[in-house]
Amino acid sequence: MKKTVTLLLLMCSTLLYGQQKLINNANALAEKVEAKTIEWRHDIHQNPELSNREFKTAEKIANHLKSLGIEVQTGVAHTGVVGILKGGKPGPVIGLRADIDALPVTERGDLPYKSIVKSTYNGVETGVMHACGHDTHIAMLMGVAEVLSKMKNDLSGTVKFIFQPAEEGAPPNEEGGAKLMVEEGVLKNPDVDVVFGMHISSDTPVGEIEYKSGGLLAAADRFVIKVKGVQSHGSAPWNSVDPIVTSAQIINGIQTIVSRSAELTNEAAVITVGMIKGGVRNNIIPEEVEMIGTIRTLDIGMQDLIHERLRSVATNIAISMGAVAEVTIQKFTPVTYNDPALTAKVEPWLNEVTGEGKSRIVKAVTGAEDFAFYANEVPSFFYFVGGCPLGEDPKKAAPHHTPDFRVDDAGMLTGVKAMLNLTIKYMNEPLK
């Protein structure tokens, strides 16, 4: 019995030593590829492309993966790229995901790699900018692919690199993003056991990682309210049923749903009207007004409640003013859910990357991420990587999706090392 225990301890020690040797090698290679990773990021930042139009970005990614000897699939979910790297030993199949699209935002600031790209979005001419850090996600995963390709023979399993388009949402009347990638079989052939994803954060200090078990990011739903009234001359409003005034009352009314109907001690919720269209002239009361907005929830029961209350409040306010309100609600993105067992497993691994205290649990975020569609299919883990320059106040960082958004190149090495650490350790210690 004593000999058996000693033998088992020796085997465990040998395995741990071998794993740590792999990690050390991966970290050393990550440091060597850091300069290239930053160079890729700058090039991608200067040449952003909108959702489902990431043609040159996809070509750059595919060419890089092919140069590493990785099997490549292109045209997945329109412009997605998938790379498959089979290790020299048997083991789990691990998906690593990066989103690749930019936003219709005109960049400010004076970065030497600032975007000056112009395009058209929803019929409006606009600048195009990586205003959410997807340029860093691409570059980091390209760096991870380069490192792992050099360690191929020592890897116990298969890595599937998922470069996903349209995370910010497909253009009107198009499909796209993670949902379409899943539908087209990105988690099959070979079947993926687990997926890891990361997102850089402008208000998290460089070198730090943030995460949460369970619901991390909110479900995102889109609503449209069409208010139909009676048109009239602006000088005689008594002849109208004014859809603009009715819409104003509806906007005020739906703000009470979260404050008075949602049990906010359980989870956060948000209702925002982001667009309102109605009228063509100052002295004409129009016949119709359209409002478009978003609902963010972290709880399915609360999501159902808010949908029901939104329909009821909008419809009944309109009736009270003699108008008609038609409410349409579309579910777009589910809650991004970190598998609790997987989260518990990876927590110490992240601390090894950042140092104790620099990988920490945070509260849920009302932003949304279509990474949720992978997490709905297989155990998954999504985390935030710090991009706020050291010495700057994270509270003063420009938010994502704004013209002044920026993240520090120095944060990307932590992201690369974290993804390498999760991949190699999971290969040797998968979920039971």
Q: What is the pLDDT of residues 9-41, one digit of tens each?
A: 444 555 566 789 999 999 999 999 999 999 999
Mean pLDDT of 95-113: 97
Residue 18: the pLDDT is: 75
Residues 186 and 78 in one domain: yes
Residues 242 and 252 in one domain: yes
Structure token digits, residue 41: 């990021």
C-alpha closest to that of 136 among 201, 78, 76, 82: 201
Q: Is the pLDDT of residue 7 over 60?
A: no
User: How many CB atoms are closer than 10 A to CB 79?
Assistant: 25
Mean pLDDT of 67-93: 98
Taking the C-alpha atoms of residue 85 and residue 67, their distance in angstroms, rounded to an integer, is 12
Q: Does 36 fall in a domain? A: yes
Residue 122: the pLDDT is: 86
Residue 10: the pLDDT is: 47
Taking the C-alpha atoms of residue 56 and residue 400, their distance in angstroms, rounded to an integer, is 23
Residues 203 and 76 in one domain: yes
Residues 348 and 423 in one domain: yes
Question: Helix or strand or coil: residue 265?
Answer: coil
Taking the C-alpha atoms of residue 410 and residue 417, their distance in angstroms, rounded to an integer, is 12
User: How many CB atoms are closer than 10 A to CB 349?
Assistant: 17
Residues 155 and 65 in one domain: yes
∠ Cα 343 406 163 (to 5°): 50
Residue 432: the pLDDT is: 85
273 neighbors 291 (Cβ within 8 angstroms): yes
Q: Give 103's DSSP letter.
A: B
Confidence of residue 239 (pLDDT cuts 50, 70, 90): very high
Residue 2: the pLDDT is: 62
Residues 230 and 191 in one domain: no
Residues 405 and 370 in one domain: yes
Residues 192 and 83 in one domain: yes
311 neighbors 318 (Cβ within 8 angstroms): no
Mean pLDDT of 245-257: 97
Residue 313: the pLDDT is: 98
Each residue of 280-339: pLDDT tens digit?
999 999 999 999 999 999 999 999 999 999 999 999 999 999 999 999 999 999 999 999
Each residue of 129-174: pLDDT tens digit?
999 999 999 999 999 999 999 999 999 999 999 999 999 999 989 9
Single-letter amino acid code for the residue at 143 = G
Mean pLDDT of 202-218: 97
Q: Which of 307, 333, 359 is the last residue before a domain boundary?
A: 333
How much is the mean pLDDT over the chain? 95
Residues 83 and 177 in one domain: yes
Q: Does 114 fall in a domain? A: yes
Question: Helix or strand or coil: residue 317?
Answer: helix
Confidence of residue 86 (pLDDT cuts 50, 70, 90): very high
Q: Does 105 fall in a domain? A: yes
Helix (H) or strand (E) holding 1: none
C-alpha closest to that of 278 among 252, 253, 245, 244: 244
For the domain that residue 237 is a member of, what is the CATH number?
3.30.70.360
Domain that holds residue 109: 15-218+335-428
Residues 6+ apart with CB under 8 A from 104: 50, 119, 121, 122, 124, 126, 127, 128
Confidence of residue 376 (pLDDT cuts 50, 70, 90): very high
Any idea which residues carry the catalytic annotation?
Answer: 101, 167
Tally of residues, the chain:
432
Residue 401: the pLDDT is: 97
Pairing of strands 89-99, 156-164: parallel
Q: Which of 333, 353, 372 is the last residue before a domain boundary?
A: 333
Question: Helix or strand or coil: residue 236?
Answer: coil
Q: Does 3 fall in a domain? A: no
C-alpha closest to that of 19 among 372, 378, 352, 327: 352
Q: Does 86 fall in a domain? A: yes
Single-letter amino acid code for the residue at 359 = S
Q: Give 113's DSSP letter.
A: T
Q: Which of 333, 357, 384 is the last residue before a domain boundary?
A: 333
As for how many domains the chain has, the answer is 2
Q: Which residues of 244-258 are buried (b: 16+ CB within 10 A; e: fewer)?
A: bbbbebbbebbeebb
Pairing of strands 71-76, 118-121: unpaired
Mean pLDDT of 67-72: 98
Asked if residue 286 has a cis previous peptide bond (ω within 30° of 0), the answer is no
Residues 321 and 350 in one domain: no
Residue 349: the pLDDT is: 97
For the domain that residue 133 is a member of, what is the CATH number?
3.40.630.10
342 neighbors 194 (Cβ within 8 angstroms): yes
CA torsion sign for 127, 131, 137, 142 is: positive
Q: Does 151 fall in a domain? A: yes
Helix (H) or strand (E) holding 305: helix 300-320
Residues 225 and 162 in one domain: no
∠ Cα 425 426 429 (to 5°): 85
Give the rounded percent of residues in the chain with a pLDDT score beyond 70: 96
Taking the C-alpha atoms of residue 113 and residue 238, their distance in angstroms, rounded to an integer, is 57
105 neighbors 43 (Cβ within 8 angstroms): no
Distances (CA, A) of 185 to 19, 73, 77, 226: 31, 12, 10, 37
Residues 257 and 132 in one domain: no
Residue 11: the pLDDT is: 47
Taking the C-alpha atoms of residue 176 and residue 183, their distance in angstroms, rounded to an integer, is 10
Q: Does 81 fall in a domain? A: yes
229 neighbors 242 (Cβ within 8 angstroms): yes
Structure token digits, residue 245: 């005034």
Q: Does 401 fall in a domain? A: yes
